[in-house]
Structure 1
Amino acid sequence: MSDRLITGLIFLSTLGTGLVAGVFFAFSSFVMGALARLPAAQGIAAMQSINIVVITPLFLGTMFGTGLLCLALLAAAVSGWEEPRSLWLLAGGLLYLIGTVVVTMVFNVPRNDALAAADPGSAEGASLWLRYLREWTLWNHVRAVTGLAAMAAFLLALRLPAAE
């Protein structure tokens, strides 16, 4: 890959990881806290609605499109390992792919699926909601932190010289 193309991919990956990390940061810092203050039935219903509305081409395209960019940067890092920025590309790509994409699929989505099947007004739903708030939010913190760390790695890669 040309240096110009790699620099463009790093720039777009920096934007994507930062944007996705910001969404997760918002949930970790205030959205989940606000939902936790509601009665369980209302909190469940609100989160069920959020989990439906979030499935849009714009959000999924940003989240998974950034993942594709990270895969391309991983390939560039491995194929050009001698370049000064390769370590930062490897770190950024792995942080995002594992800490954001894999964590989402393995930890957050199954909890969303369980919540989708819950009856908001039932005792089982209320019990699930308390567990969901704790566990889903913990894994969301991981996504926010790793997304931010990936962005930082890509910013550091942008500061280093391209191959000559």
Structure 2
Amino acid sequence: MLQDKLSALTLLSALGAGLVAGIFFAFSAFVMKALARLPPAQGMLAMQSINITVLTPAFLGVFFGTAVAAVVAVGVALFSRERPGAFYLLLGSALYVFGVIGVTGAFNVPRNNALAAVEPTHAEAASLWARYVSEWTVWNHVRTAAALGAAVSFILALRASTQH
């Protein structure tokens, strides 16, 4: 019974991390590049709008729900280290919690807040926008890699637990 619940939790963590990785990948691969091609005021307005509209129950549920599932998985892994796949549960959880949630809070959200405080037509807005796109995207690459690594780790944890 516990094994079935842990498997379901691990599967949900893998799916959530994979979905988040895909969202972040889209921003790194083409969304930010498309916004950077616009005139600065238009790119800023678009990103300011994205930063508001992303705060939906669907996105936040997946984003933070995956973190909750990962933290529960860490608890299980710590109390059953001999369990096949426990290392991968720990790794996936650490990647998601620190590499996705931690990086978002420490690096992306502060940049989003700073962008929100700037009027796009202000004289210094263009230089802020250029710096924002560059710095935000670098940290988004980190989040993308962490979320993808977490998804792979959760899949490896599932695989290990079903092979024994």
TM-score, normalised to structure 1, is 0.97
Q: For residue 161 of structure 2, give the secondary structure of its aligned residue in structure 1.
A: coil
**CA apart distance, 1:39:** 0.6
1:54 matched to 2:54: yes
Instruction: Find the aligned partners of 2:134 and 2:121 in 1 and give their Cα distance.
Output: 19
What do you get for the CA RMSD once the two structures are aligned? 1.3
Aligned to 1:24: 24
Would the aligned equivalents of 1:83 and 1:163 in 2 still touch at CA under 8 Å? no
1:8-157 correspondence to structure 2 within 5 Å: 8-157=8-157
Count of residue pairs the alignment pairs up: 164
Instruction: Find the aligned partners of 2:23 and 2:88 in 1 and give their Cα distance.
Output: 23
Name which of structure 1's ranges 118-127 and 47-56 shifts more when overlaid on structure 2: 118-127
Percent identity over the alignment is: 54
Q: Which runs of 5+ in 2 are unaligned?
A: none
Instruction: Find the aligned partners of 2:161 and 2:100 in 1 and give their Cα distance.
Output: 28
Q: For residue 9 of structure 1, give the secondary structure of its aligned residue in structure 2.
A: helix
Instruction: Find the aligned partners of 1:163 and 1:135 in 2 and give their Cα distance.
Output: 42
| Stretches of 4+ aligned residues off by more than 4 angstroms | none
Instruction: Find the aligned partners of 1:48 and 1:145 in 2 and give their Cα distance.
Output: 24
Q: Cα deviation per residue 1:40-82 (whole Å; 9 max; x = unaligned)?
A: 0000000000001001111011100000000000001100011
Q: For residue 82 of structure 2, give the secondary structure of its aligned residue in structure 1.
A: coil
Q: Cα deviation per residue 1:6-34 (whole Å; 9 max; x = unaligned)?
A: 00000000100000110000000000000
Q: For residue 123 of structure 1, give the secondary structure of its aligned residue in structure 2.
A: coil
Instruction: Find the aligned partners of 2:54 and 2:146 in 1 and give their Cα distance.
Output: 20
Instruction: Find the aligned partners of 1:83 and 1:116 in 2 and give their Cα distance.
Output: 46
Q: Which runs of 5+ in 1 are unaligned?
A: none
Would the aligned equivalents of 1:10 and 1:158 in 2 still touch at CA under 8 Å? yes
Instruction: Find the aligned partners of 2:78 and 2:125 in 1 and give their Cα distance.
Output: 47
**CA apart distance, 1:106:** 0.7
**CA apart distance, 1:123:** 2.2
Would the aligned equivalents of 1:83 and 1:162 in 2 still touch at CA under 8 Å? no
